[in-house]
């Protein structure tokens, strides 16, 4: 298999590729991980391994190796690279920290800290911190959401929050992403997707969408990189929901996916016909809607991977995107579970170029460098 594993003796809650410089041609190599549910949680920077050890057939050998790490107070709830050197980390204590990776001597240091960015009672009580559940960056801006229903807008170079929406939500906010430079999307524990516009002074969402019927908590959200009206979410029931935020207030597709909570969903940043989801049930699914699927032979059980085709009916669309398609010839989707025999939760994944990195409660990180081989 083209997957290399590294056992790290800590449960991994987040994995993130370091972004590549704009002109870079080589595949990504550096990634960061954060841990949770350990006595001593850590932020770690890894090199994915030496591509130079490729064997005669170009298959890849070598496992990820640790470049540096640093202790982190509390569980790592989320993390995002701000730029090539800085990583923003959300903690279960409510604190948000920017760590800097010094590449010349391979060390990590805490660069800036917003203590108790999220809190239940008031910022000054010793035990008042509320978990910061999600963070998203658009350098220099950083948006955080938390268990306290609060939204913060920070700037990397400023001590105080630029904007705080105190009672943004009466339930827990689980995740956040940018829709545009001034707008964000949040998902909450009662199945709602909300749009917030920072240009507006009022502390109300500009739009609210929700799952019909059961208020299933939503845990993760991602926006299509090219078609900003297409949004994917996942939640407690393991379903994948696709939303078109230009119309209606409900998802356009609900796709049966995992058998337990879906923890993360990511469109491939440069090839968004591909989407990836991971779950508490120990699976990591690759959803392929690229148009040549119908001509492909069925990949059932080839190489030990199971593949299912499923149709999804969607409301009549004006734009043709594979994710919103109502053309029956395109109405097939190839789904591959990239880890058929995993048992413990897959908590996080990240995808960049041909490379996938994911982390699990089995205290391991995995790198697949040939996603599309």
Which residue has 């959200």 as its token pair?
Answer: 221
3-291+319-368: CATH homologous superfamily? YVTN repeat-like/Quinoprotein amine dehydrogenase (2.130.10.10)
Return the HEC string of 196-247: EECCCCCCCCCEEEECCCCCCCEEEEEECCCCCCEEEEEECCCCEEEEECCC
pLDDT band per the 50, 70, 90 thresholds, residue 372 = confident
* Contact in structure between 4 and 16 (CB atoms under 8 Å): no
Q: How is the chain split into domains, by residue range? A: 3-291+319-368
Q: What is the pLDDT of residue 18?
A: 97
Position 253 confidence tier, pLDDT thresholds 50, 70, 90: confident
Is the CB of residue 35 less than 8 Å from the CB of residue 41?
yes
Report, as an integer, the average pLDDT of 270-278: 95
User: Over the stretch 39-59, which tens digit does the pLDDT of each residue have?
Assistant: 899 999 999 976 555 555 555
Cα(89)–Cα(86) distance, rounded to whole angstroms?
10
**Entry pTM:** 0.88
């Amino acid at each position: 298999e083209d997957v290399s594993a590294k056992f790290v003796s800590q449960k991994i809650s987040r994995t993130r590729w370091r972004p590549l410089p704009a002109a870079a041609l080589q595949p990504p190599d550096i990634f960061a991980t954060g841990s949770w549910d350990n006595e001593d949680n850590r932020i770690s920077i890894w090199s994915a391994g030496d591509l130079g050890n490729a064997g005669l057939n170009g298959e890849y050998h070598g496992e990820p190796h640790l470049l540096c790490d640093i202790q982190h107070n509390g569980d790592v709830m989320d993390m995002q690279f701000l730029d090539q050197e800085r990583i923003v980390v959300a903690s279960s204590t409510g604190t948000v920290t920017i760590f800097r990776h010094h590449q010349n001597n391979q060390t990590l240091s805490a660069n800036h800290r917003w203590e108790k960015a999220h809190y239940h009672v008031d910022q000054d009580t010793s035990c008042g911190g509320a978990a910061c559940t999600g963070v998203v960056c658009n350098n220099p801006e950083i948006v955080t959401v938390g268990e306290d229903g609060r939204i913060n807008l920070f700037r990397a170079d400023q001590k105080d929050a630029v904007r705080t929406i105190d009672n943004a939500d009466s339930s827990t906010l689980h995740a956040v992403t940018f829709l545009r430079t001034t707008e964000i999307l949040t998902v909450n524990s009662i199945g709602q997707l909300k749009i917030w516009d920072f240009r507006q002074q009022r502390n109300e969402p500009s739009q609210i969408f929700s799952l019909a019927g059961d208020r299933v908590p939503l845990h993760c959200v991602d926006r299509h990189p090219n078609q900003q009206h297409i949004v994917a979410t996942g939640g407690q029931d393991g379903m994948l929901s696709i939303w078109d935020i230009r119309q209606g207030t409900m998802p356009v597709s609900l796709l049966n996916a995992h058998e337990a909570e879906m923890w993360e969903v990511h469109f491939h940043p440069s090839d968004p016909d591909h989407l990836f989801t991971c779950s508490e049930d120990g699976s990591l699914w690759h959803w392929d809607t690229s148009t040549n699927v119908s001509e492909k032979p069925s990949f059932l059980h080839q190489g030990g991977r199971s593949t299912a085709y499923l149709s999804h009916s969607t409301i009549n669309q004006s734009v043709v995107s594979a994710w919103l398609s109502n053309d029956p010839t395109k109405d097939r989707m190839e789904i591959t579970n990239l880890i058929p025999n995993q048992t413990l939760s897959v908590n996080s994944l990240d995808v960049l170029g041909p490379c996938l990195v994911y982390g699990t409660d089995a205290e391991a990180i995995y790198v697949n460098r040939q996603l599309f081989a």
